Chain A
Amino acid sequence: AQSVSQHNHHVILSEAASLELGCNYSYGGTVNLFWYVQYPGQHLQLLLKYFSGDPLVKGIKGFEAEFIKSKFSFNLRKPSVQWSDTAEYFCAVNMGGSQGNLIFGKGTKLSVKP
């Protein structure tokens, strides 16, 4: 079955530490890839996306992600986290379904200590 796996359930970092959140998906066809973020008390919002082209994509707030097709991965990175990055991060993949049909991972909760 098509699925999205996020490796870390809860990550705790100190400010200025580097971040990498893993995401793998199981589907051999063309995919569109997304990272969504949910800040405390707020709605889900798009952080970045990949459709085609350069596999290294940059999003808002200094986040970036790299699509590695051979590894079926789309890991999220940030060189230096801030306390305001505390949130839950969801990887999502459209695996050829309708536009709104995203398969989400279970999410990774990031806590950044000031």
Chain B
Amino acid sequence: ETGVTQSPTHLIKTRGQQVTLRCSSQSGHNTVSWYQQALGQGPQFIFQYYREEENGRGNFPPRFSGLQFPNYSSELNVNALELDDSALYLCASSQKSPNTGELFFGEGSRLTVL
């Protein structure tokens, strides 16, 4: 087990709705990254948070936003859901220093948009 927990594990939304996904990072980790994994694809980087600020972003529109809290947990928010947002959303935690390069992944939140 990695110690990274995500909630909810599964959820169903309709197009146009908003969703919030949550992640608790592994103890001792201060950096959280979010990934989207569509069916049959590898994970795709959404953004990373460090010290409660966004610290790198992938090619995702602004309706994908996030937060990091003082306890290093994090949220991913997606507004105006589209059908293509259906995917597994992965959270990964790591430590900024020393940088081992290893990400510790949670089991993901599977979002279905109807």
Q: Which residues of A contact B (CB under 8 A)?
A: 4, 32, 34, 36, 42-46, 49, 51, 90, 92, 94, 97-107
Q: Assuming A42-B107, A43-B2, what are 5 further A-B pairs, CB within 8 angstroms?
A: A36-B105, A43-B106, A98-B56, A100-B55, A107-B42
B101 and A45 contact, CB distance less than 8 A = no
- When chains A and B are docked, how far (Å) is the Cα of A91 from the Cα of B106? 18
Q: Which residue of B lies closest to A33 (CB)?
A: B101
Cβ contact of B102, chosen from A43, A46, A101, A105, cutoff 8 A: A46
Contact mask for chain B residues 79-114; partner A; CB cutoff 8 A; 1 contact, 0 none: 000000000001010101001011101111000000
Identify the B interface with A (CB < 8 A): 2, 4, 31-33, 35, 40-45, 48, 55-56, 58, 90, 92, 94, 96, 99, 101-103, 105-108
> Shortest CB–CB separation between residue A92 and chain B, in angstroms?
8
Q: CB-CB < 8 A to B2: which residues of A?
A: 43, 45
Closest to B58 in A: A101
Among A43, A49, A104, A107, contact of B101 (Cβ-Cβ < 8 Å): A49
A-B contact count (CB 8 A): 68
Q: List 11 A-B contacts (CB under 8 A).
A: A44-B92, A94-B101, A99-B31, A99-B56, A100-B32, A100-B92, A100-B94, A102-B43, A102-B45, A103-B45, A104-B44
Cα separation A97 to B33 with both chains bound (whole Å):
12
The answer to whether B45 touches A101, judged by C-beta atoms less than 8 angstroms apart, is yes
Q: 9 closest A-B pairs (Cβ-Cβ)?
A: A98-B56, A100-B33, A104-B42, A100-B48, A44-B105, A43-B105, A43-B107, A46-B102, A104-B43
Is the beta-carbon distance between A102 and B103 smaller than 8 angstroms? yes
How many angstroms from the CA of A96 to the CA of B35 in the assembled complex? 17
Bound-complex Cα distance A92 to B31 (A)? 18
